[in-house]
Each structure stands twice: as structure tokens, then as C-alpha cells.
């Protein structure tokens, strides 16, 4: 089936400001991968393409689920416009699928905090308003100034003799550079992104940051970590069917007591068990998946009346087989972990959840980082969020 709405992500390999900028990570993922992932998760996007002149970018883009349009050198220099790359990509897409897409979503991976919801909302606004194009922007109440030819300060968007309160000013909007949606026929005719009836999709300031300088990576990293700790907006799967838990460091605080006979014991949190009972009543499938072979794992699972897979060295393979038996997908799953051997599962799950004291690599891979540590109410915190 031909794609009616395509996302195109230009990713030129020759950035002079920041070398290999598009492969630098934010929130544990290269910014190009983050952009591809957001586009693939957007319900209104049928296909995702990366336009690049760089073979390494092309290989990685394919690994991350995008299709690739190789850009000729004359469209990959410092003077080539984004529009020229988009028009070339549209021509290649039409040549391959036999007809042109109807709608183009132009995404820039230098805005690494863009979400699938932002993309869908921009498309929805364009269609509801019967607009030709839409773009993301963030509200601004700033007083802008410029210097005239004599060096005197001149108000750009205000009268300097009158200083209204912020709440009394009509907001203006600053482009984020993240999302531009447009009808392909009009874009090809006008050859620029702002044609006809154009509407603005407002995004909050915390998702409006654009990477121009090395320092911007630090800001975006902090904002990405903040977003992961925003439990009120936890990205739980809409069609959630199962919640799977690691044991050590999730049910426990990762400590172990060993007596003189070599018998190990651990401490768990009773409040976790109480809320798991309430969560089971919702019909969700719950299970413990542990690499640990100690019988304490199965003993705790029996107490909680939870199924357990124990002594699992390859968790992704074991969980994948379990999902297949039930006709489920990773997208319908929440996985809760804390350790390095949880990273792959956290990334594959529809929502990966890390406890507060998880390894940094696990936090980077997670979609949500809980405020409580393993063995100290982390499971109860997650149960409370799900039961709401």
C-alpha cells in the first residue's frame, strides 16, 4: 500500500559546527534515532524516510526502522536548502511507489524532544483547520530589541514608552524548527514550506529546544531526564496487556544477607505486594523475569501468587517467546528493571520503567524513571500510576 503521509528527516553528514551531530545521544539515544522513533510512533504517519549523503547515517537509519533516500552531493553542501532535499526525496518516493504522497511531515532531528503526540497533533490541526501547512512553535511574551544604524536600541515588537504586564500581552510564537506539515501538491508548486493557509501548533517550552551549539546537548539531556520523571504524563501503552518485572533491585534494594551456612535472604516491601494484588484484579498479566537462580525469587513469587521465569540469561528471547505464545507484542508490554541486563527489554517494551536507583544505562533506556528506589516502594508507585 502506498504511503499517503510520509515523514522526511534530512540528516546531512557534513555538519561543521558539531561533528557527527546527528549521532550524538540525548536521553540515551542518538538524536537521529529519537526522531525516527517519534515519527514511527506517530499514528498519522505512514512511512518514515531519512534523506542523507552519509553511508553511516543511512545504515543506522535503516537499523532504526526508517527507509533511506541517498542525497546527491550538490544537495548536501552548506548552501543547499532543506526544501531542495525534501523535493528530491519526494521525487524518489514517487518514483519508487508510483505516486506522490499527499502530505509531507518535515522533521528535524536537531529538535530531539519532539514526541509522536506532537507530530500527530500538528497533522490533526492542519486537517481540522483545512490548512495547507502547519508548523510547531512555542509561545513567547519576550520584548525584542534591535540596534539601529546609529547603535540606538529600538523596540521590535513593542512600544518602548509603554510596558504592559506579561499576562496582558498577546502571545507571539517562535518557530521550534521541529515539525513542518504540508500538502505535497502545494509544496511542489510553491517550493517553500509556508504557503497558502498556514496554522501554528503550539508546543511547551520544555519541548521546544533546538540544538545549534554543543551546550544545547546538555540542556536537552537535562530536559529529557526531566520528562522521564514526569509520572503524570507517563507514556503507558494504550493497549496495555502485561507488566513484567525484574526481581533483584526492583522487588529488593539489591542487598543480600548471607548467614554462616551460605543461605541468602533479601528484604522486600509489603506495600508493593498489596498494590500488586489490586493491579492483578484489572486483568493485566503480571510476571517476574529474573536472571537470579536463588530460590528466594520463586518463594516471593509464590507469596504474591505471581508466575515467574527464573534463571533467564537471555531475557529478550524468553519474553519474546512468552509474548508470541499469547499473541501479544512488545508494544503491549510494560517492563520494569534496574540493571544492565534489563536495557534491551526496557528499549523494546511499549513502556520501559526504571526504578530511581537503576544503573544510568537502564535509566537512559527507560521511558519513565520512578521516584522510588527498588525495594522501597517503586512497584507500589508504578501500580498507583496504573490504577489511576
Is 234 a domain residue?
A: no
**Res 360: pLDDT:** 87
Arithmetic mean of pLDDT over the chain: 91
- Supply the pLDDT for residue 92: 95
What's the distance, CA 178 to chain centroid? 13
Residue 145 falls within a domain, yes or no? Answer: yes
Residue 59 within a domain: yes
Strands (DSSP E) contained in 98-149 are 103-107, 133-140, 145-147
Strand partners, 179: 107
If asked whether residues 207 and 272 sit together in one domain, one would say no
Cα separation of 350 and 320, whole Å? 13
Pseudo-torsion of CA 148, 151, 156, 160, nearest 10°? -120
Does residue 231 surpass a pLDDT of 80? Answer: no
Task: Summarize pLDDT for 251-261 with one digit per residue, the tens.
Answer: 998 887 887 87
- For 271-314, how does the pLDDT look when each residue is reduced to its tens digit (9 = 90+)? 788 889 899 999 999 999 999 888 888 889 899 999 999 999 99
- The total of structural domains in the chain comes to 2
* Separation CA 7–CA 182 (nearest Å): 11
Domain boundary among 228, 253, 279: 228
Same domain, 184 and 249: no
Q: Which three cell numbers stand for residue 367?
A: 521511558
108 and 73 part of one domain: yes
Helix (H) or strand (E) holding 123: helix 116-128
Contact 337, 250 (CB under 8 A): yes
Which of 47, 52, 42, 49 lies closest to 21 in space, CA to CA? 52
Pairing of strands 67-70, 145-147: unpaired
Q: Is the pLDDT of residue 233 over 80?
A: no
* pTM: predicted TM-score of the whole model, two decimal places: 0.72
Cell triple for residue 225?
A: 531526564
- The reply to whether 337 and 260 lie within a common domain is yes
Strands 333-337 and 351-354: parallel
- Asked if residue 149 and residue 251 are part of one domain, the reply reads no
Which CATH number is 258's domain given?
3.40.50.1000
How does pLDDT run across 113-163, given as a tens digit for each residue?
Answer: 999 999 999 999 999 999 999 999 999 988 999 999 999 999 999 988 888
Whether pLDDT at 1 is above 60: no
CB count in 10 Å sphere of residue 317: 11
Amino acid at each position: 500500500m502506498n504511503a499517503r503521509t510520509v515523514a522526511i528527516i534530512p540528516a546531512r553528514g557534513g555538519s561543521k559546527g558539531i561533528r557527527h551531530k546527528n549521532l550524538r545521544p540525548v536521553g540515551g539515544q542518538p538524536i537521529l534515532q529519537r526522531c525516527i522513533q517519534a515519527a514511527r510512533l506517530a499514528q498519522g504517519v505512514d512511512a518514515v524516510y531519512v534523506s542523507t549523503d552519509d553511508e553511516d547515517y543511512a545504515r543506522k537509519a535503516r537499523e532504526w526502522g526508517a527507509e533511506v533516500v541517498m542525497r546527491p552531493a550538490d544537495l548536501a553542501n552548506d548552501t543547499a536548502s532543506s526544501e531542495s532535499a525534501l523535493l528530491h526525496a519526494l521525487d524518489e518516493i514517487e518514483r519508487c511507489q508510483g505516486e506522490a504522497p499527499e502530505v509531507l511531515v518535515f522533521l528535524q532531528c536537531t529538535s530531539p524532544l519532539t514526541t509522536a503526540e506532537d507530530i500527530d497533533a500538528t497533522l490533526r490541526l492542519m486537517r481540522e483547520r483545512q490548512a495547507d501547512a502547519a508548523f510547531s512553535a512555542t509561545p513567547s511574551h519576550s520584548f525584542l530589541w534591535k540596534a539601529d544604524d546609529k547603535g540606538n536600541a529600538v523596540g521590535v515588537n513593542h512600544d518602548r514608552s509603554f510596558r504592559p504586564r506579561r499576562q496582558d500581552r498577546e502571545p507571539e510564537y517562535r518557530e521550534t524548527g521541529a515539525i513542518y506539515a504540508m500538502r505535497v501538491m502545494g509544496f511542489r508548486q510553491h517550493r517553500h514550506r509556508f504557503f497558502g493557509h498556514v496554522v501554528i501548533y503550539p508546543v511547551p517550552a520544555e519541548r521546544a529546544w533546538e540544538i545549534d551549539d554543543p551546550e544545547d546537548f546538555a540542556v536537552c539531556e537535562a530536559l529529557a531526564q526531566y520528562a522521564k520523571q514526569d509520572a503524570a504524563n507517563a507514556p503507558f501503552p494504550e493497549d496495555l496487556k502485561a507488566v513484567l518485572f525484574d526481581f533483584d533491585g526492583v522487588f529488593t534494594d539489591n542487598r543480600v544477607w548471607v548467614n554462616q551456612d551460605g543461605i541468602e535472604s533479601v528484604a522486600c516491601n509489603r506495600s508493593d505486594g498489596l498494590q500488586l494484588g489490586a493491579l492483578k484484579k484489572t486483568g493485566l498479566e503480571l510476571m517476574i523475569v529474573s536472571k537470579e537462580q536463588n530460590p528466594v525469587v520463586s518463594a516471593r513469587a509464590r507469596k504474591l501468587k505471581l508466575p515467574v521465569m527464573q534463571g533467564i540469561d537471555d531475557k529478550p528471547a524468553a519474553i519474546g517467546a512468552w509474548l508470541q505464545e499469547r499473541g501479544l507484542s512488545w508494544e503491549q508490554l510494560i517492563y520494569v528493571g534496574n540493571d544492565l541486563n534489563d536495557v534491551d527489554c526496557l528499549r523494546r517494551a511499549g513502556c520501559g520503567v526504571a526504578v530511581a536507583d537503576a544503573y544510568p544505562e537502564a535509566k537512559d533506556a527507560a521511558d519513565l524513571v520512578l521516584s522510588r528506589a527498588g525495594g522501597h516502594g517503586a512497584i507500589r508507585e508504578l501500580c498507583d500510576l496504573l490504577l489511576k
